[in-house]
Structure 1
Amino acid sequence: MSTAHDYDWGIDPEHALKYAIQHHAGDRTEVVEGVIENVTPSWDHERAAKLVRRQIESRVDELGCVEGSGNLDLPGSSNWYVPDIAVVPEELARGGGSLIPDQTLLIVEITSESNAETDRVVKRKRYAEYGAPLYLLVDRLDKTVTLFSGPGRLGYTGVDGPHAFGTPVRLPEPFGIEVDTSGL
């Protein structure tokens, strides 16, 4: 007698999971290492994101880019991220679909109690593996900011920080600006 698990349904689990997330109505939802997570940022979290956005937005505009929290696909893995801030070229943002981390110029994640280790460890590793050139980690629990650069399969080779809140953090070219971390 054949059972359902004996039959090859021809469904790619990665594709099915990501399809479900993309067509889920309502809140921000991401997949982290195969686990579906609803993202519900607190007001304090959103305030920190706003402070970073305000500081980078004029330079982002000059670069012909947009900053936002759109979907990032990590093909070949069970990951689908919605970063707190991603800076992407405007022409890529017009496509309406997801992007891949190597299509970004900068990704910013801001920790919360519920996701701090994910942002510190898992996303840092995956963003590097998928070629995100700059990853700015705003760790609200440790009250530090760290900039990661030089992505590769084994992680980031450049680490600037952690810097205590209040220490300016320089974003390298193409940004060439300092982020004031005192209000985070």
Structure 2
Amino acid sequence: MTTAPADYNAGVDPERALKYAVQRIKGDRAQIVEGVIEPVSPTWDHEAAAEVIRDQIRPRARELGCVTGSGNLDLPGSSNWYVPDIAVVPAAAAKGAGALLPEDTLLIVEVTSESNGETDRVVKRKRYAEYGAPLFLLVDRQERSLTLYSEPGKLGYTRADGPHPYGTLIRLPAPFDLDLDTQRLGE
């Protein structure tokens, strides 16, 4: 058996290598959560819940010169590379970007799944705040509730509006100034 030369790994940045690899996975998209590669393959129920929110924020996002999507979000200095269910970002920032930072967004929406609900509720909520995402809306399908987090800081969001049951109007603050009707989430 041969051994690698002593300088074989010299200059290799493990974070960069992992993020490079996840972007080149064939087939389904993938994200990295705390160093673990996870496939992103939502169910139709999951997509239907995201669509209820997306349909309501898209017109206002356009007015603000933004796009809505589920593009890559990099969290530099960590082993995290997220694919949010919905992100609202300025169109200028999205143009030509391979990945954005959470602080580049105006709003991030995550819809929980049975398999990763705790990741959205705990890990992503903390990391989005740490990386400056101004608004984070958690649509918790298992709890049938919504919570809007704001005022991000290094230790997490300092303000939470909710949890509110499905059917409650959720007010998105400026720059959106929009009431989300969540009645259809319960259908």
Is TM more than 0.5 here? yes
Counterpart Cα distance in 2 of 1:25 and 1:92: 26
Residue equivalent to 1:69: 70
Residue 97 of structure 2 aligns with an amino acid whose one-letter code is G
Match of 1:131, SS state, is: coil
Asked if residue 139 in structure 1 is aligned to residue 140 in structure 2, the reply is yes
Match of 1:157, SS state, is: strand
- Matches of residues 18-29 of structure 1 in structure 2 within 5 Å? 18-29=19-30
Residue equivalent to 2:127: 126
What TM-score do you get using the length of structure 1 for normalisation?
0.96
Q: Which runs of 5+ in 1 are unaligned?
A: none
- Where do 4+ consecutive residues of structure 1 move more than 3 Å? 2-8
Residue equivalent to 1:32: 33
Residue equivalent to 1:155: 156
In the TM superposition, residue 4 of structure 1 has moved relative to its aligned partner by 3.9
Q: Which runs of 5+ in 2 are unaligned?
A: none
Asked if residue 50 in structure 1 is aligned to residue 39 in structure 2, the reply is no
Asked if residue 117 in structure 1 is aligned to residue 122 in structure 2, the reply is no
In the TM superposition, residue 24 of structure 1 has moved relative to its aligned partner by 1.9
Length, aligned pairs only:
183
Match of 1:54, SS state, is: helix
Residue equivalent to 2:85: 84
Counterpart Cα distance in 2 of 1:48 and 1:19: 30
In the TM superposition, residue 26 of structure 1 has moved relative to its aligned partner by 1.9
RMSD, matched Cα: 1.3
Percent identity between matched residues is 67
- Matches of residues 85-100 of structure 1 in structure 2 within 5 Å? 85-100=86-101
